[in-house]
């Protein structure tokens, strides 16, 4: 099992993908998102599953009440993915958080697990508002300089200018 690391800005949503490769005979697999690893105030807002080789109409059934995706049969040498969408509150501290997932087989036995690193970054406006009293001309010029050196996207620059 593997998990994709991701980066998200405070107050936005992100997707984490957990992938499972079946190297044994065909079997049912459940990808379970470990809710205890999701920080307080964060919410699961979406959950989907997909299979590279669908063998059943019931492959990739999301069960949001249990934070899991059930794959009725994963064929030998095929992989499946479960994608969870998580909203991060605007007051989340900039840091790297770990979200866990596990693949369960044979009536709930953990076959493998993985951790996704979710890095929360400051809202771009807060990043440039160094004195925390609203953006001033010099702080906007810092953002423009970062845009010119490609350290800031045009979308982020527009957010800074709009906030100014």
Q: Is 49 helix (H, G, I), strand (E, B) or coil?
A: strand
CATH superfamily name and code, 2-121: Immunoglobulins (2.60.40.10)
* 59: pLDDT strictly greater than 90: no
Handedness of CA 29, 41, 15, 57 (dihedral sign): positive
Mean pLDDT of the chain: 90
Q: Enumerate the domain spans of the chain.
A: 2-121, 124-163
pLDDT in tens, 89-122: 999 999 999 999 999 987 778 999 999 999 999 8
* 56: pLDDT strictly greater than 60: no
pTM of structure: 0.79
- Predicted confidence at residue 108, as pLDDT, reads 78
Strand order across the beta sheet in which 68-74 lies: 6-9, 109-121, 95-105, 27-33, 68-74, 61-63
Lowest average pLDDT, out of 54-63, 80-89, 91-100, goes to 54-63
Strand order across the beta sheet in which 79-87 lies: 2-3, 13-21, 79-87, 43-51
* Other beta carbons less than 10 A from residue 156's beta carbon: 19
Dihedral angle of Cα 22, 78, 63, 7, to the nearest 10 degrees: 90
């Amino acid at each position: 099992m593997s998990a994709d690391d991701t980066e998200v800005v405070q107050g936005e949503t992100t997707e984490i993908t957990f992938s499972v490769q079946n190297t044994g005979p065909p079997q049912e697999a459940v990808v379970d998102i470990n809710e205890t690893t999701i920080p307080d105030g964060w919410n699961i807002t979406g959950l989907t599953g997909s299979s590279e080789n669908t063998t059943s109409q019931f492959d990739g059934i999301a069960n949001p009440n249990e934070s899991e995706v059930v794959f009725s049969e994963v064929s030998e040498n095929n992989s499946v993915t479960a994608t969870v969408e998580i909203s991060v509150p605007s007051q989340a501290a900039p840091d790297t958080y770990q979200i866990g997932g596990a693949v369960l087989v044979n009536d709930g036995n953990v076959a493998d697990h993985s951790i996704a690193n979710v890095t929360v970054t400051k809202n771009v406006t807060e990043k440039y508002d160094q004195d925390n009293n609203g953006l001033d001309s010099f702080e906007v010029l810092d953002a423009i300089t970062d845009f010119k050196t490609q350290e800031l996207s045009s979308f982020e620059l527009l957010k800074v200018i709009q906030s100014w």
